[in-house]
Amino acid sequence: MKSCYNISKTKVKELYRMKRIAVDAMGGDHAPQAVVEGVNQALAAFPDIEIQLYGDEAKIKQYLTATERVSIIHTDEKINSDDEPVKAIRQKKQASMMLATKAVKGAQADAILSAGNTGALLAAGVLVVGRIKHIDRPGLMSTLPTMDGKGFDMMDLGANAENTAHHLYQYGILGSFYAEHVRGVRNPRVGLLNNGTEETKGTPIHQEAYALLSKDKSINFVGNVEARELLNGVADVVVSDGFTGNAVLKTIEGTAKSIVGQLTGSIKNGGLRAKLGGLLVKPTLKKAFGAMDYKKAGGAVLLGLKAPVIKAHGSSDARAIFYTIKQTRSILEAGIVEKSVMKFSQMEEGHD
C-alpha cells in the first residue's frame, strides 16, 4: 500500500498537466484565513494543481495545512480595498497582488486569483498580463444563477463604464467560448441586454451591436433580452456594457439577499405556526436557495487577456475560494486563452 502511494506521488505530474495558480493570499475581507482554507480544500480535491500563495508568510502558515504542491512567496506589502487602483499598482510593486500578477506575466504561473481590490486587479491584468491581440477591450464576466440552476454568463460587469458596438460583439464571442468550453453548454444562446426584444430597440450602439452579432453565424444569437427574464434562463450568455451590467449584477445580488432575509426572518419571528410551516417547506427552500447559490459559480473572469485573471468576491469565505480555484482549473483545462487567440486571429485575417 505504501509503495502505491509513493508511486502516485512521484508520477502525478506525468498523469496530469499541472496547472499553476498564483493566489493573492492577502486580498479580500477575510484574508488570509478564508483564502488559505479554500486553498487547502482545493489541493485536497484536485491533484493537478499547484498553488503559489503571495503574502505574509507568518499569517499564511497559521492556516495552511496542505504540505504538497503549495509554496509561499513572502511579502509584507498589500493593496487595500480603498486604494486608488492605478496609483496602487504603480506604487506598491511588491504587493501580494502585483507579485502574483508578475508571476503570470513571467510564465511562472498560468493564472492569477484574487479577492482583493477589483479595480487594481483589472488594471494589473490589462497593464501587466496584457490583452490578446485584436481584442479591443477585455470585459469582466461572471456566471450568475438562474431559477433552474443552470446559470448564465454575463459580461461586461464593470471593467468598462462605456463600450462600443464592436466591444459588445467581441463579448458575445468571448462569452460564447466560455459557456461552451468551461461550462459545457452546447451551442450557447447569446442575448443582447436591451430595453425591449424588438430589433430596433435601444441606443444606436445597441442597434449596431445587434447587427454585428446577427451577422456572425458562429454565434447562436437569440436577439435582445430584457433584464426581467435573466433569472428565467432566457439566454446562456448575456452581453451588456459595463455600467449597465454592473448595475444589473448588484440588483440581482441585493434582491436575492433581501428575499432570503425576509423569508428566514418571517419564519423565525412568526410564531409557532410559521416555524412549523418553515420545517415543512425547508427541503423545498433549500433546493431553491441552492439553485441561486452564486458561490458555486466561482469568481468573475477578465476575458480577453493573455492569461486568466479571476476576481473572487471580496466577502468570499473558504467555500467560495474553493469553487473559484475549481473554476480557474476548468478555464486552464479548457484552453480558453488559446482558443480566443486563434478565433480573433482568424477574424482579422478574414478582414484583410
- pLDDT tens, position by position, 150-196: 889 999 998 888 899 999 999 999 999 999 999 999 999 999 999 99
* 55, 77 Cβ separation under 8 angstroms: no
- Measured CA to CA, the distance from residue 326 to residue 338 in angstroms comes to 19
- Residue 129 is given by DSSP the state I
All cell numbers assigned to 187: 451551442
- Measured CA to CA, the distance from residue 18 to residue 329 in angstroms comes to 10
- Measured CA to CA, the distance from residue 3 to residue 190 in angstroms comes to 51
- Measured CA to CA, the distance from residue 206 to residue 270 in angstroms comes to 48
**pLDDT at residue number 275:** 61
Pairing of strands 19-24, 300-303: unpaired
* 331, 45 Cβ separation under 8 angstroms: no
All cell numbers assigned to 139: 470585459
**pLDDT at residue number 282:** 60
At residue 133, the 3 state secondary structure works out as coil
- Measured CA to CA, the distance from residue 16 to residue 157 in angstroms comes to 34
All cell numbers assigned to 93: 510593486
The position carrying cell 480595498 is 81
First to last CA, the chain: 62
Quick: pLDDT tens for 272-296.
665 666 566 666 555 555 555 556 6
**pLDDT at residue number 348:** 59
H/E stretch holding 288 = helix 271-291
Supply angle C-alpha 296, 302, 304, rounded to 5.
Answer: 130
* 213, 127 Cβ separation under 8 angstroms: no
> Can you list the residues of the chain whose pLDDT is less than 50?
1-8, 10-15
Q: Strands (DSSP E) along the chain, which ranges?
A: 19-24, 49-55, 70-74, 111-114, 139-144, 152-155, 189-193, 220-225, 237-239, 300-303, 309-311
**pTM of this structure:** 0.83
Q: Which of 98, 75, 103, 73 minimizes the C-alpha distance to 87?
A: 98
**pLDDT at residue number 38:** 96
Kindly report the length of the chain: 352
**pLDDT at residue number 11:** 47
**pLDDT at residue number 255:** 72
**pLDDT at residue number 5:** 39
- Measured CA to CA, the distance from residue 73 to residue 196 in angstroms comes to 51
